[in-house]
Structure 1
Amino acid sequence: MVLEAVIFDMDGVLVDSEGFWAQAELDVFSSYGVQVTEDLASLTRYMTTREVTEFWYNRFPWGELDIPSVEQQVITRVIELIRSDNCTMPGIEDLIRRFKNKAYKIGLATNAPLQVAEAVLEKLEVRHLFDAVHSAESEVQGKPHPAVYLTAARKLGVSPEQCIAIEDSYSGLKAAKDAGMKTAVFTNDNEDIHFDIADFKIMNFKETRLPEFSL
């Protein structure tokens, strides 16, 4: 089947922002008496923001402030860090434009809240190039469940088999694969990353050529 759409993950693909989440969670949760340890934090790496907030609350219940309010504080802090830091993945804006110029539909499927996704696309100045932006906050389950990708494909008006997803994690690749999509793993020049589940490998965006994806 001919591929008609490219769907990007966000954290670790469009922007190098994973450290921002760790910093924001440490800043916010610690202020409510949560003892954020590296071992426990590693368990939350691929959770949605709501799941992460519930995770810490269940272990270190704080006062009267509800979970959604604390979650929003984390989101606000992440957006602040994204806007103030040079975190854009080199070459990503040009790659998105090249896909768009080839008439492919462009989508975003992320576990991050929609507020953060919109802030990232605004920072990259590419929001107008995206035909669909979807967050797992609107789904019952985030990645590695395929729901966020299935909905993104539906919003793009194409079948999952007509999409290729660009991801940087096994969790994201599994979500896209289970949705029935082709996948490309972005390694950011890390030669030690090997995911057999991926159909393609992208070392960096500056040297990526569209024909390599057989699009």
Structure 2
Amino acid sequence: MNDIRGLEPPTGTAALLFDCDGTLVDTLGLYRRCWTQVFGRHGFVMTDEWFHTWAGHSIDPFVRAALPSAGDELVAEVTTQGIDLFLESTHLLEPREHVVAVARAWHGRIPMAVVSGGQRVAVEQTLEAVGIRHLFDAVVTVNDVVSGKPAPDVYFLAMQVLGVDAGRCVAYEDTSSGIDSATAAGIPLVFDVGDHSPVGIADFR
């Protein structure tokens, strides 16, 4: 059994909201390999430092940052290339068990959603690949909103779908972009699952 100490939501939590990539599922290594290959075809050499700087941002600004002179048509083409390459290898993915254990522990007890800046097709296939899609009442992605992370739009929509107020929600993220998105949506407690540290304080009693 996985240890969830340090990640437990406080009593009175209305909903749990989880990022997908890097939070519920260890996707970043696969994404890094895919984007290194795709960007390389277009003349951009992606370093690990650059990748980690942009990790957590939604895909459109991510691609535009790599290819700043690209027009909309090329951005769409490159995005499709990157996602298609990723989808070919989702069978290699592994869940981040210490975070998934939280979702398993509260499944059926309080509403839960996946709140991602990724493309829906990639997020849904990722969750199915590691066998955890059934744990969540909703999946909200960048395809459902105008602006992806670090904007708060995906969190606002997820809370609307679940019918809960931000002030009683807890979020789980692994990047500064995701944490900024959740806090901008008014969520008082966000766990940085990279080091189990809470951002903010919540007392829902």
TM-score, normalised to structure 1, is 0.77
Q: TM-score w.r.t. structure 2 length?
A: 0.80
Q: Which residue of 88, 96, 104 maps to 1:97?
A: 104
How many Å apart are 1:42 and its aligned residue? 4.5
1:208 equivalent in structure 2: none
The question of 1:136 aligning with 2:139 is answered no
The answer to whether residue 26 in structure 2 is matched with residue 16 in structure 1 is yes
Greater mean alpha carbon deviation, residues 104-113 or residues 41-50: 41-50
Q: Give the aligned partner of residue 177 of structure 1.
A: 183
Alpha carbons 1:3, 1:161 under 8 Å: kept: no
CA offsets per residue over residues 146-202 of structure 1, 9 Å max, x none? Answer: 1110111001121222321111223222221221113232444x4xx756x3438xx
RMSD: 2.8
Structure 2 Cα separation of the partners of residues 124 and 35 of structure 1? 30
Change in 2 beyond 3 A, CA 1:126/1:39: closer
Q: Does 1:28 align with 2:38?
A: yes
Q: Is the CA contact (8 Å cut-off) linking 1:93 and 1:124 kept in structure 2?
A: no
Once the two structures are superposed, what CA deviation does each residue of 1:124-162 show, in whole Å capped at 9, x if it has no partner? 322222111111233232222211101110011212223
Quote the Cα distance in structure 1 between the aligned partners of 2:54 and 2:173: 18
Contact 2:150 2:180 in 1 (8 A): yes
Deviations 1:39-58 (A, max 9, x none): 54454323211222222222
| AA matched with 1:100 | H
Please show how residues 1-215 of structure 1 align to structure 2 within 5 Å.
Answer: 2-38=12-48, 40-59=50-69, 61=70, 66-85=74-93, 87-101=94-108, 103-188=109-194, 190=195, 197-199=199-201
How many residue pairs are counted as aligned between the two chains? 195
* Pair 90,214 (structure 1): closer, same or farther in 2 beyond 3 Å: farther
Shift of 1:38: 4.3
Q: What runs of 5+ residues in structure 1 fail to find an aligned partner?
A: 201-212
Task: Provide Cα deviations, 1:68-124, integer angstroms capped at 9, x if missing partner.
Answer: 122011112223333224x211244443222123x2001011111111210121023
Identity %: 25
For 1:17 and 1:106, locate their aligned partners in 2 and report how far apart those are by CA, in whole Å: 20
Gapped runs of 5+ residues in structure 2? 1-10
Residue identity matched to 1:30: G
2:57–2:150: 8 Å Cα contact kept in structure 1? Answer: no
Q: Take 1:176 and 1:42, find their aligned partners in 2: how far apart are those partners?
A: 19
| AA matched with 2:58 | T
Question: Partner letter of residue 143 of structure 2?
Answer: E
By how many angstroms is 1:7 displaced?
Answer: 0.6
